[in-house]
Structure 1
Amino acid sequence: MRVELSVVVPMFNEEAVLPLFVERLRPVLDRIGATYEVVAVDDGSGDLTAATLQRMKRTWPELRVLRLRTNSGHQAAISAGLVAARGDWMVTIDADLQDPPEVIAEMLDVGRRERVDVIYGVRTDRSTDTAFKRGTAKLFYRTMRRISGVDAPVDAGDFRMMSRATVDAVNALPSHGRVIRLVVPTLGFPSASVGYRRDERAAGSSKYPLGKMLRLTLDSITGFSQAPLRFATWFGLSGFVLAFAMLVLAVVRKLEGDAVSGWPSTVVIVAGFAGLQLLCLGILGEYVGRIHASLQGRPTYYVAYDSLIADQGGRSGPTSGEALLPSETATRHPSAEF
């Protein structure tokens, strides 16, 4: 069945906020004037998120439950939802209500009116975030713009609307370790933006602690830029030049009759260069690790259950999260159909 709008919602231990989220999302979608589905991706939650979704589905036929076998991560859950979704337009939004569902209607209107492929949700007011969160977010986007050339909108997270053609292009890319918020801008498809105020989390706790934020940053840098490799190369070249200059200086002083002394300074220099070497090896190791993981071809996620398939009497799982080939996906532009 043709669906005009798919709303992909990754969830991990969101039992507390789910009723509030559905209470705000459903009226928005019912009034939007388009056929829709909500693809709720349970990312291996350990609470009653899955059971709550199944209970809600009894009274909300447009709700589709996709359950991953293990916790695969936020970006993997979004990828799973994008592969499964059937809409001509697709929205990705978190369930914590920091991104208001009411903006979805405005996004759809902008997409239809301006005939663009991507509509970014841009946080124009982040006063509810901590100063540390705001500062690190700005640093992240500015750094990625500088070292990778990716023109990612500042203060735009994973709340966006994409056309069918955009999602097909994303699904066709290798899925290992990809960061959707940077993958989409690299496609260069026509885009627009909608501003909104970022609210506080409605209930529950953040699923993005500092450790996961650092992991996302590292995946972003190594996945979209060769600058760290060049950084290691320049460090090595600079170290070679400095070492050669010190060697020449030591020889000259020896010929002049001056004794070469200064064991502490020697130890400091050796230790410093050893540290630089380890840093460069670590940078190279990150890239080699990504190549190794890509060659292994292990799926990023496993789908254990899909309520749509189960309702149709089919086998609902498990399936692996492999990206679709371009020949297996539609490439029509949805804005031409409205």
Structure 2
Amino acid sequence: MKSLSIVVPCFNEQESVPLFYAATQKVLKEMPVKAEYWLIDDGSKDHTLEEIKKLHAENPAVHYISFSRNFGKEAAIYAGLKNAPGDYVVLMDVDLQDPPEFLPKMYQLLESGEYDAVGCRRVDRKGEGKFKSFLSDQFYKVINKVSKTEIVPGARDYRMMTRQMVDAVLSMPEYSRFSKGIFSWVGFKTKYLEYHNVERVAGETDWTTWKLFKYAMNGIADFSQAPLDLSVWIGLTSFVLSIIGLIFVIVRKLINPWSSIFGWASLVSVILLIGGLQLLYIGIIGRYIGKIYLQVKNRPIYIVKEEE
């Protein structure tokens, strides 16, 4: 009998944890697998850890790892994958936006040997804000244009993987992690199951529009050098235009020596434009350097306070 490890990042999900466990257990009873849970408490400030410990006392197959503080969902995903020993590993959200009903189908597809991973993607974002949905759609369009690593639009972190693929993902100990990109970058044959958006079973999401925007920017920086390439081309264009402008000023001065008294406003505008572009792309370069800085410091991706 194959073993299945279920990795579940949790942050302030005290209401969702027991509901998730009950719904998932109901599905697992129909599957020919030896299942275990790895619930990762990402520094929750509510009673999430207490709820997890209750499940552990009830079922020894429920394991948990509690961080010393909030390190973020990506760190929780990495910790779960690193500790999960199953032949197959499935990554799920605890809020039941990842339907447990898909688990048997995912397992069957992997057992067929045709695929190395089975993921899920939403075909709509019904129930979410229009602005957030718009930004999400634009993110997938942008990153797939500027990156060689294809990110499937609407793809969730919800996926079941073979041991081989999990080991490949763990071979990338990056400090700045963007799992959707990593899952695509390592390759392997992946099948996607489509479904309509499911709202949270309880609680409120911690993913604000601003946090999603920063996460998207990290994804673009992690898997594309397009911003740096763009800065080079804009810099080159500005340099050429500056040379043309300089020649024009010199010629005009020679033709009409008194003309230089005019045009101070346009000169200031050009200086502000060039200065703004310089500051913008110094910031872009600084973002990449910052990622290098964090990586070379070799700090741990997460710190465990307690585990069982």
Task: Answer whether TM exceeds 0.5 for this pair.
Answer: yes
2:287 aligned with 1:286: yes
Q: Percent identity?
A: 35
Matched, 1:259 2:251: no
Q: In 2, are the aligned partners of 1:3 and 1:86 still within 8 Å (CA)?
A: no
CA contact (8 A) 1:4 1:35 kept: yes
Q: Hey, what does 2:273 align to over in structure 1?
A: 272
Please say if 1:147 is aligned against 2:117.
Answer: no
Report the more deviating stretch, 276-285 or 93-102.
Answer: 93-102
How does 1:149-228 map onto structure 2 within 5 Å? 149-228=148-227
CA shift, 1:130, in A, is 2.3
Instruction: Please tell me whether residue 62 in structure 1 is matched to residue 61 in structure 2.
Output: yes
Q: Deviations over 1:132-166 (max 9, x none)?
A: 23222221111111101112211102111111111
Tell me, which stretches of 5 or more residues in structure 1 are unaligned? 308-338
Matched residue pairs, number? 306
SS at match of 2:271: helix
Q: Is the 8 A contact 1:16 1:204 kept in 2?
A: yes
Match of 1:101? 100
- Structure 2 match to 1:131: 130
| 1:260-303 C-alpha deviation (Å, 9 max, x unpaired) | 22211111111111010001100100111111111110011012
Q: Deviation at 1:3?
A: 6.0
Report the TM-score when normalising by structure 1: 0.87
- Indicate the SS of the match to 1:35: strand
Tell me by how many angstroms 1:114 deviates. 4.8
SS in 2 for 1:125: coil
Q: Secondary structure at the match of 1:58?
A: helix
Q: Does the 8 Å CA contact 1:99/1:198 hold for their aligned counterparts?
A: no
Distance, in Å, in 1 between the alignment partners of 2:121 and 2:5 is 20
Alignment correspondent of 2:87: 88
Residue of structure 2 in register with 1:304 after alignment: 305
**1:46 corresponds to 2:42:** no
Q: Which amino acid aligns with 1:28?
A: V
CA distance in 2, matches of 1:140, 1:17: 29
1:147–1:227: 8 Å Cα contact kept in structure 2? yes
> Is the Cα contact below 8 Å between 2:74 and 2:177 reproduced in 1?
yes
Cα drift, residue 4 of structure 1: 1.4
Worse-matched range after superposition: 235-244 or 98-107: 98-107
Q: 3-state SS of the aligned residue for 2:87?
A: strand
Equivalent residue, structure 1, for 2:30: 31
Tell me the distance in 2 between the aligned counterparts of 1:195 and 1:139.
20
Which 4+ runs in 1 deviate beyond 2 A?
A: none
Instruction: Provide the C-alpha distance between the structure 2 equivalents of 1:114 and 1:193, rounded to a whole number of angstroms.
Output: 15
Letter matched to residue 85 of structure 1: A
Structure 2's unaligned 5+ residue stretches are none
Normalising by the residue count of structure 2, what TM-score does the alignment of the two structures yield?
0.96
Letter in 2 for 1:232: S
* Alpha carbons 1:103, 1:196 under 8 Å: kept: no
Name the SS for the 1:305 alignment partner: strand
Amino acid at match of 1:243: S
Q: After superposition, what is the alpha-carbon deviation per residue over 1:231-262, rounded to whole angstroms, capped at 9, x for unaligned?
A: 11111111101111110111111111151222
Shift of 1:112: 1.5
